[in-house]
Structure 1
Amino acid sequence: METCEARMIKYILFVFNLIFAISGIALIVAGAVVLSDVGEYNHFMEGRILAPPVVLIIAGAIVFIVAFLGCFGAIRESYYLLMAFAVCLLVIFIIELAVGIAAAVYKSDFEVVLRDTLKDSMENYYGSKTDRLAWDNLQVKLECCGVEGPNDWPDKQRPFSCCHKTERRDAKPPEGFHCVQAEPGDDILYSVGCFEKLQMKADSGAKTLIGVGIGIAFVEVIGIILACWLATAIKTRDSKK
């Protein structure tokens, strides 16, 4: 005979797993949004910087699958399935915690590496088509110029992508196209450096992932408690038969 406690926990756990499945989708969406936003500038990003959103997308997929294991275990009232569900939640929780710690540890390293990468790539602007396209895309889309500012570029070699007004002068290589003033004193350059803009974008993505991760982690802890509670109630009931 099913106890009132076991019945109540079973229904609560079943509803919880529906919510948990939705949270898995939320993890996938959040990771994908951040990856598409920051990953567009992967030419300047290290692989380990792009790793957190990728890990969260994978974790979200696993969460979605594990949610069905919890539903099945609750319906079947299986002690072993429920304990397996609790262990899976614990593993996912540990992975998310590790990703969060790694992101915090590498934050200072990220800033140093990003600045150095931008400087090295800038030196290859006129010698590498890949670097040139990456810099033009970066400066146009983020409305920035240079690493720290427009003065990072030599006056006669400043890319046209640094301009926010469409003045253009043709010149022979290595000068290429560079910004010129339409009128004396007319400010036609983006004044903010690309390092600052990229850092702001990375920080924004990190806050999104941290917020979603904390919310999901809280849900996972509740799931572990409910699964263990129901498993214990089932085991106690079966032992009295």
Structure 2
Amino acid sequence: MAGEETQALHISEPRDRSKKHGPCGCDTYHCYKYILLAYAILFLIVGIICLVAGIWGSIIKQNYHSVNDFLSSPATLAIIIGVVVIITAILGIVGVIKEHVTLVKIFLGIIIIVLIIQVIVGILAFVYREEIANSELTTNQLHFAIEKYEKRDEVTKAVDSLQQKVGKSAKNQLKFALDKYAYDDSVTYAVNQIQVKLKCCGIDNYGDWDKNEALGCKGNGTCSVPDSCCKEIVEDCGKNVRQNYRSSADAGLRSTIYVNGCKTQFRNWVETHLDIVGAIVLGFALPQVLGILITWLYKVKLEDRQFLYKYRPELFT
């Protein structure tokens, strides 16, 4: 009799549990299901945002194609992340709606991997931000741009843009930009944009522009700096500046152009933004942990439900 009573209580347990309501007014299983579905949809939205941002970045970087080795990586990474997140979210949504255990398990596994990678990236962004900011890639590119400045409009624009955000890590990019500025349109455009954004001129200082054939003080050079070095940009504001003002201490020069180089500015910019990126990445860890917990709880409930449906179908009638 005791065994029969225990068995009866065990058999009726799922039915009794299905009548229990959680805080959302539904039974535990369906509460987990709805919460997980909302989480997967949010995951999908995040993926779409990453994909759109990556595509937008890829389109924008076309203006910097001569120096895009440094600039294109974030856009490409955003696209890859966006695609992976979207696919993962779709697996989760389908798995929840169809109550497909395998898809839910795949979704759980992927978001765990994403969390691990995310935490690693966040930690590395904090630990290695100075090393990243001091890499040689950007500087070489900028020296190339300076040489081509005024020879190709793109390079000129690129240099102006590059010089506003550059440090030792960017020094290679800057050398590349200095060389190609005015010779390569994409580099010119990128340099101009950088110098305007970072409020800087040259790599170490404005004198770096003497290395550019068109702007140097030797030969047929105009002894100038790009207009993007000017504090108030007007046409030809940088023309003959280095000829008119020979010393960086000259008040007239300092009131006309930015005399400091982009290397330090870029390093500071990278360090600041890597701190922000690291904080954001780690900040997203908590909701992801909660998402993993909800997914695991739903998986357990779903497996239990399917097991009972297979071996105790009478409980669901």
Q: TM-score range by the shorter chain?
A: 0.7 to 0.9
Asked if residue 108 in structure 1 is aligned to residue 131 in structure 2, the reply is yes
- Percent identity at matched positions? 25
Quote the residue 2:200 is aligned against.
144
Matches within 5 A, 1:73-88: 73-88=95-110
Name the CA shift for 1:66/1:160 in 2 (closer, same or farther; >3 Å).
closer
Deviation at 1:106, TM superposition (A): 6.6
Deviation at 1:168, TM superposition (A): 4.3
d(CA) in 2 for partners of 1:218, 1:85: 17
Compute the TM-score of the two structures, normalised by the length of structure 1. Answer: 0.72
Name the CA shift for 1:20/1:125 in 2 (closer, same or farther; >3 Å).
closer
Asked if residue 194 in structure 1 is aligned to residue 194 in structure 2, the reply is no
RMSD: 3.8
| Letter of the structure 2 residue corresponding to residue 135 of structure 1 | V
d(CA) in 2 for partners of 1:11, 1:46: 44
Name the CA shift for 1:206/1:45 in 2 (closer, same or farther; >3 Å).
farther
| Letter of the structure 2 residue corresponding to residue 92 of structure 1 | V
Contact preservation (8 Å) 1:30, 1:212 = no
Contact preservation (8 Å) 2:63, 2:190 = no
Contact preservation (8 Å) 2:129, 2:270 = no
Quote the residue 2:165 is aligned against.
none
| Letter of the structure 2 residue corresponding to residue 96 of structure 1 | Q
Compute the TM-score of the two structures, normalised by the length of structure 2. Answer: 0.58
Deviation at 1:202, TM superposition (A): 3.5
| Letter of the structure 2 residue corresponding to residue 150 of structure 1 | Y
Deviation at 1:90, TM superposition (A): 1.9
Structure 2: which 5+ residue stretches go unaligned? 1-14, 19-26, 137-169, 211-215, 218-222, 313-317
Quote the residue 1:129 is aligned against.
184
Structure 1: which 5+ residue stretches go unaligned? 170-175
d(CA) in 1 for partners of 2:75, 2:121: 9
Question: More relative contact order in 1 or in 2 (CA 8 Å, sep 6+)?
Answer: 1
Matches within 5 A, 1:175-214: 177-179=239-241, 181=244, 185-186=251-252, 187-203=255-271, 205-207=273-275, 209-214=277-282
Matches within 5 A, 1:29-40: none
Contact preservation (8 Å) 2:66, 2:184 = no
Deviation at 1:83, TM superposition (A): 0.8
Greater radius of gyration (CA) = 2
Name the CA shift for 1:217/1:57 in 2 (closer, same or farther; >3 Å).
farther
Aligned residues, how many?
A: 232
| Letter of the structure 2 residue corresponding to residue 158 of structure 1 | S
| Letter of the structure 1 residue corresponding to residue 231 of structure 2 | H
